[in-house]
Structures are given as C-alpha cells and as structure tokens.
Structure 1
Amino acid sequence: MLTARGMASSLGGVVQACAALRAGIARPRPIPQMQVVAGHDQVPIPLTGHPVHGLTEGYPVGPRWIRLAAAAFADFRTQPGAPAVTQQGFWTRCDVVVVLPSIRHQRFQTADVDCMPSLQAGVIAPLIRVLGIPVDAEAVTVVDAGQAGTASALVRVRERILAGEVQAGLILAVDSHLDGMSLEWLAANRRLKCDGQPCGLAPGEAGVCLLIESGTSAAARAASVSAVVAGIAYAAGTEAAHSMADGGRRLADAVASALGQSSGTTIFAGPLITDHNGEAGRSEAIAMALQLLHQRRLVAGNQVVIPASSLGDTGAASGAVGVCVAAHGFLRQPQAGAAAAVVSLGELGDPGVVVLTRAG
C-alpha cells in the first residue's frame, strides 16, 4: 500500500507537480552550460531543459542526486501519513531502497568498473546523514536499473514485506540529465531535442520519495492509503541484447504479467503512464508494446499519459513520478477509473511495470 509521497521537480513538490501535470503545465528554462544551434543562421543558443531551479545548479553528479533526494524527502515529510524521523520503531522495520540511473551504462563511463563502494561512501552515506533517519547506511539497497528501477525496488520491498522481514519500504528515486557529464553524453549521441534533432529528449531531473507499507503497518499508524500496488513486473536487461523492437516485446510481456497479478482476464482500460521522452526509438518500443497488448486483448481505450512533456526526461525517477501521478489521479479525480499502470523501459532494455488500484 502506498501511504505517503514526496517530490522535487521543476514543477515543485508532489502536490503542485501532479496538479501541474494534469493541467499540462511546464516550466522549461535555458541551460547555459550546453549550447545548441538554431535557425537558418545556426546561431548558438542555450539548450532548453527542466531543472529544479535554485537547487542543483553547479553541482556535479553525486551531490546533485543527494540534493534532489533530500528535497523530495523534505516534501514527503510535509504530507499526511509520513512518519517522523524520530519514530525509531518505525524505521527499524522499514527497508530503504535508493533508485539510481544505471551505473553500468556508458553515460558515466563506468561500464567495466565496480562503483558500488564509492557510491556507498560518496552518495548513500551522506544522503542518510542529510535525511536524518535512524537507518544504517550499509543496510540501504541501491537499485541501478534506470527508468525501470522503481518497479525493481517495489519487487524487493513487496518480497520483504510478504516474508515478514519488514513492514514498510521507503523508496527514493533520483536522477538528473542536467549535470555536465550527462549533457555531454546525450549531445555526443545526438539525443538532445533541438532544431537539428526534433525527435530528441528535453533533459530534466527529479527526486521522488514513496512509502510502501503492509496493511497492518498502515492500520497501526492510522495512515491513509493513496493507492494499492496490485501488480509489479520487472526483468533485467543487458545493453548488448537490447534493441527497441526487443524492448517493445519485453515491455508487452511485463505489462501482461503485472496485469495478470491485478485483474486476471479483465481487459485493462485505465491510463498508461509512460516514460516516453520524445525519442523515436522509445516511441517505437512503447507503440509496439501497445500493439501487442491490443492483439492479446489485454488493453483497450487507454489514455496514454506522458509526464516528460511537462518535466522533461527524469530518467531513473520517471517510474516513481508515474506512481505519484497515478495516486494523485485516484485522490483528485473520484470519477476516474479504478486502476492505472506505470510503464517503463530502462536504457539497458529493462522493462518495469507497476499496476496501481484505487484504495478501498
């Protein structure tokens, strides 16, 4: 059960951002450190992106992630149902999972390097100190599955809750495509949206915090439930085997698996919240998945929701953003459907799907 959420994004905290997304509002800004050419005269102008203004400018990768995650947690603490950091009893039975972009990917030039020790010392340990929660940093799990990381983290949390090892899980998902290294990598691979590359992505960044609890834990705290996690599917991918056609098939299989857990043979007609970011390859993969699902008579008449149209590409945070958007829809639109699916495809071909249903 999802009992509390928090977010740091270009559109503000979780309540403001989800309301703005619903209204189709965006707040793009020029990114001075990355110049692109525009118009017939090929005049250099700043790239357009979606930064969390005033929070991350000038920070490199690790500190940027920490600031985004800390801002999301600060927003989380203001929401109804969020436990106080002083509640030692709660945190001792809460799993903490941090979702990051894939450090196996070429983006960070670390594909053949074991980065976990430096990641633990340089990001996780200082993050836990900043958050102030009574949790041992060594016990924090890092999921580096990119866009599909939230689904992977939810699989872990669900397994541990069902096994009775914990009663809750705090998931912190964070990513930024606006640090210098990421921008250079995106530019080198011609993935940035500009005049010469209209089918590119607008770089964004976000931190998202999700609290998942067992029914017993939520009832004991009298916490209201925003949504119920009814189905989850995740499958690890490898860059060598990844193609967008293969990604579309794997994504369709993951959606079918998650829907099978939640609705059985019922045709799913709820919204599909995707990580489509404007790139042709990702669009093709999502379109192929939808076509296959229609052929299997698993979905029909679905609204496709694209948070990146307002927030830019938020990478590893996009799945958690989608969960927040789904929960917000349940709370703010009583007349809307009873279920939503968050559909993600990682850079390495990892499909991740989360099906949520309305509480009660």
Structure 2
Amino acid sequence: MLTGTGAVTSVGRSVAAACAAIHAGVSRPRPLNELRVVEPESQEDLALSGHPVHGYTEGFTLLGRWMRLARGCVRDLVSSSPGLKTADRRFWDTTGLTVIVMPPDDTVLLTAPGQGRAHLEEAFLLPLHSALELPIPPRNVELLCAGHAGTALAIEQGVRRFSSRELERLLIVAVDSYIDTQRLAELLEQGRLKTEEQPVGLIPGEAGVALLLEAEPSARRRNAPIAGYVAAVSTNREPEERPRIQRGHALAECLARALDHGAVASPFRGDIYSDLNGEAWRAQEWGRARIRLEQRLEESCLQLPCTSVGDVGAASGALGVCLALCARDPFRDAEAPSLVLSSSDRGEVGCLVLQPARLEQGRGRG
C-alpha cells in the first residue's frame, strides 16, 4: 500500500498543488535558453519551449537539478505525512531507498565510455542519500537507471522484498530533467524534440516525485494514513532488436497481466495515466496495445499528464501514481481502480493497477 507521496513539478511544488493543477489542465510552458535552435536556411532562431520548474532549478547542471527536485519531493512527502519522524532510526532501519533516474548516457553525462552508472552513483546517489538526512542504512539504498518504467520496476522489486521480510517499506524517489544543454542537443540531433519545424515530438519537462510504499502489516501497526493500494503490478520488455516503431506487443501483454492479477472488471471503466509524450513511436506502441485489448479497454479514459508538465522522463510513472490517487472527478466512482502505463526508451514497460483508499479509512492526502 502507499502511505505517502510528494512532488515538485512545473505547475506545483507539492503533490497536492501539482495534482490539482494537472487535473485542472493548468500548463506553464516557458522559452528555454539552454539550447539555441536555428533554422538551417534562414539561420533564424526557432522557438524552443519546455516546462522547467521556474525559480527552482535555474542555474543548476543536470545532476544539480536532480538533487533539487529529489530533495524537494522527499521534503514534501515527509512534511505531509502525519506521524513520520525523520529521526526514528527503528523506522528507517527497515526502510529501503530506491532512486529512479534515466539510463546512463555517457554523451549527456560527459563521462568515459561505460562509466555513466558509476558516475551517477558517486556524484548523485551518495550525495543525495546524505542530503536527505534520513537514517536509511546504505545497504538498503539502490540506484535504478530504468527511465519511464522505473516506478513499476521499483514497486515490483519492493513487493518481493516485503514478501521476503527484507524490508517493511520502500521510499521511491523518481527524478528527471530534460532541461539540460547536452540532453536537449542529443534529443534535437535524434529528431525527438517538438519545434516549429517539427510538430511531432516531445516537449521537455522536469519533476521529482516521492512515494512511500509500505507492507500492509507495518502500515496497520503504526496506524498510517493510506493513500491507496497497489492492486497489481506487471512489467515486461520488448526485444532489443525490435525497432521502436514496431513496439506494442510487450505493453499489451504487460497490461493484460495487470488487469488479470488485479481482478479488474471487464471492460475497464477507469482512468489510464499514460506517459505518451507526442512522439510517434509511443503513440503507435499504445495503438497496437489498445487494438489487442480493445474489448477490455473500450470504456476507459486516457489521461496525459504531459499536456501540463511536458515529458518528465523517469518521474512520469510516479507522477501518474500521484494523479491516480488524487483524482477528484465527481462523475467517477470514488473506489474505481486506475491504471498507470509506462514505456522506457530502451524497451522496458510497466503497468500498475491502483485502488484508492476507501473513504471510510481516510486518505494520506487531502
């Protein structure tokens, strides 16, 4: 079950503000100065916009932005979780910390070939663990370089660790930013950015999201407010040799398993929070999966957070979880499940079935 959430986004620096803004359709795109885009023939500057967390991450390098966002979302989670004490060593000794980021890219990180992950562990993970000032044992700290599908993978691993009684709870911190000169240049070279000259592509964003996943006995024992339940989690992977433009089979299988394991009624009538971002390959991947499961999804409602905050990369899955738990649609069944779908650039896919906390039990969030 989920007993805490926190977030920092371009439309809100708390999970409550961010979710309310995204559900209301608020969007605050701004011109980006991190990369100059020039029209080849006229040499005129082309407008490049994105969704930075204005007044919060300016002036920082990529890892500096990650640090600001990660610390901010954890601070939000702790401050808004009743009874959560940062100095309680017994509590944190049985807690794990999984930090989700993008797959290591030596070009973006300016590292020697094959040294990206080691650099992230030394220059980001270790300083973050120290900066959070939570007495989580180093043996329980992990870096998960899985991109978009990282949240589903982290929750799946967390559930296994609960079953083996290795941990009682897992603090998941998902953070990412495309607002970086090297990263924007790489996306532009790959033809993935949305510009005046290319209307199909992603709009860069950034966010940090924290989730506290907890084994039910532990949450009940400390009478923790419950934000919601993970009814099912499923992950899969596309074959590495399969081009992005041909994907969809793994996502369909992953989604079908999640619906089966979560005992979701057919057809599914809830919301689907997707990480679709404007790129053609993602739309085609979803289209193929949707066709395979047409009868099971015919009454679902697709929600696209990217329209408010852009593509937030490795933070997208965790943000989808927060949005699903904070939904306040008066025309929607208050106890209806939601789905969160994620698809990483390198082929990993994930699906979560989330059940909101029953009203009589109360929620961890307002």
TM range (shorter): over 0.9
1:139-154 equivalences under 5 Å are: 139-154=140-155
Contact kept, 8 Å, 2:5 with 2:211, in 1: the verdict is yes
Contact kept, 8 Å, 2:47 with 2:195, in 1: the verdict is no
| Larger displacement relative to structure 2 (55-64 or 300-309) | 55-64
Distance 1:340 1:111 in 2: 42
Q: Are residues 1:34 and 2:15 paired?
A: no
Change (3 A) 1:299 1:109: farther
Query: Any idea what SS the aligned residue of 2:230 has?
Result: strand
Q: Are residues 1:284 and 2:284 paired?
A: yes
| Larger displacement relative to structure 2 (56-65 or 158-167) | 56-65
What corresponds to 2:181 in structure 1? 180
Contact kept, 8 Å, 2:31 with 2:47, in 1: the verdict is yes
Residue 337 of structure 2: which of 315, 333, 339 is its match? 339
What corresponds to 1:2 in structure 2? 2
Contact kept, 8 Å, 2:238 with 2:249, in 1: the verdict is no
Distance 2:255 2:205 in 1: 26
Contact kept, 8 Å, 1:8 with 1:71, in 2: the verdict is yes
What corresponds to 1:358 in structure 2? 356
Per-residue CA deviation, residues 73-98 of structure 1 (Å, 9 max, x unaligned), is: 11112213472211111110111101
Q: Are residues 1:299 and 2:297 paired?
A: yes
The residue identity in structure 1 corresponding to 2:296 is L
Paired residues, number: 356
Change (3 A) 1:355 1:194: same
Give the TM-score normalised by the residue count of structure 2: 0.91
1:29-178 equivalences under 5 Å are: 29-36=30-37, 43-81=44-82, 83-103=84-104, 108=109, 113-178=114-179
How far the C-alpha of 1:254 sits from its partner, in A, is 0.6
The residue identity in structure 1 corresponding to 2:319 is V
Distance 2:189 2:155 in 1: 33
Contact kept, 8 Å, 1:210 with 1:320, in 2: the verdict is yes
Give the TM-score normalised by the residue count of structure 1: 0.92
Instruction: Provide the alpha-carbon RMSD of the alignment.
Output: 2.3
The residue identity in structure 2 corresponding to 1:283 is A
| Larger displacement relative to structure 2 (43-52 or 15-24) | 43-52
1:228-247 equivalences under 5 Å are: 228-237=229-238, 239-246=240-247
What corresponds to 1:251 in structure 2? 251
Distance 1:211 1:65 in 2: 19
**Identity, % of aligned pairs?**
36
The residue identity in structure 1 corresponding to 2:149 is A
